[in-house]
Structure 1
Amino acid sequence: MDLTGQNRDLKADIELFRLLGITENESKIYLKLLEKPKGELIDNILINFNLPPNEAEAAVRALVDKGCVSIKSNMVEANPPGEFIPKILESKRLSLELQLKEVQDAGLLLEKTLNSYYWEKRLGIKPEELIEPLVDLPLMERETVDMIRRAEDLILIFAGRFDWYENIRESIREAMSRNVKAQVLMLIKDKYTVKRAGELRGLGVKVRHCTEEWYPVRGTLIDDSELIFLIWATRKMGVEKPTYYRPHYTRNPGLIRIFKDAFQKRWDEAKEI
């Protein structure tokens, strides 16, 4: 392609413009204006540029909107390509990024929706029936309260310092009044945890001090049928509270068995108080 202006390949230029989102009519008008350093009267463009007047008028408006031309005293002048092309490219980039995000969001949503249905048809169980993610710790505490209120036989709580005890204290007290048995495995190592352990024992709860200070799972098991648990993902030196992976709820017998076995092993190894 000759880029000097002599014997230009207009079809190639128009195709390049098209890739930038500029129509054929707009391209033809701009390329003709390139040959007119002083510009061209709007009326001449509407009459003499081999386009229907309404199409020519629409093309000029579009060129102005895109920054390709300027109108001064009824004269239309071509703007330097180095000014408007980078702006068009930036606009296209932003538009493509937005389209890509929309496509990615649609893909993720479709994958989530269809993946659940796919495994439901092949395994005979919905993924959410196996394990249900919860949004955050406050929701986990509220769900724990509801579970304890439904308890009929046994409550097993595997905690650390049990700092959230005060938030579920009344539900535990009410469960104990219904002759529900309860066991709490926790770390008892300062005046605050000693006080909590003492209060729990006063309610009739069996409490033991876990000799294994760090264990990445904490949770509550109700009647061997409902489990709510939290997995601590990392533990960093000097950081009191490790990073946790979102809490989950399940009624799946396999997951419940794993949690109960872990609880029972550490209960047997724990110190009575």
Structure 2
Amino acid sequence: MDPSSHKLYHVHDFDTRQCLEHYFSDKADMVFGDDSLKFLIENLRQVFEVGHINGDILIDLSSGSIIHHLYSASEFFKNIIVLKVNNKCIMELKRWVDERTGAFYWGHTSKHLQENEENSDQFQDQAAKLRSAIQHVVKYDPEKENMTDPLVLPPADCVISVLLLDLISKDQDDYIRYLRKLSMLLNPGGHLMLMGCLDTTYFTVGKDKFHIFTYDEDFVRKALVGEGFIIDYCNTKERTAVSDLVDYQAVMIIAAHKEK
């Protein structure tokens, strides 16, 4: 398929539930567990703890309706504001937050946290704690100067973005432009955490192929420094999953703080 014909996550219809089933579920044939679940959970926990990153407000702009990366965040931040690009993603997330019938099952993700803790009992109420921390789920438009217009968000102590820039950026200029908008959500000295896939061109949801911006670690590092960030942490993991649903070569998490 010609890459130019790939759909765009934030423009075309996106089946967030099917995406969750493909890439984040606990099904036996879900092959991305080490890359999409465990790697992110383990690294975010380490970044928060070692970097002593905490505060009042955390803003999350991540793809689809994922929440597994926010288990750790709820341990270090009192209020979490989640931004979603379309109504389907909002509805799917709220179904879990409100504990409605048919909500996507995320219990398997908290087990990854427990595996790395001496006292696993402290995570028995992790889901309830995260639900309590998620104060608002807000729709946004990445093309607006104020992405949540007319709502003006309070400045955040931390912003997390999982795969979003990969999906909405068509090229390097786009990536930097959207990165700048994430930066504008932060307090001076605030922390930004990005998780993405390296050397990727597409991912599949159902019968549809969606665009992913192709980049490498060096590009992200230079983009962050160019926008006034100091890089604190970076880790990559080579792909282990065998599947033609997506063609990434590695996954990466990078954390930085904004110069005051």
- TM-score w.r.t. the length of structure 2 is 0.32
Higher relative contact order, chain-length normalized (CA < 8 Å, sep 6+): 2
- TM-score w.r.t. the length of structure 1 is 0.31
Structure having the larger proportion of residues in helix: 1
Structure having the larger proportion of residues in strand: 2
The structure with more radius of gyration: 1
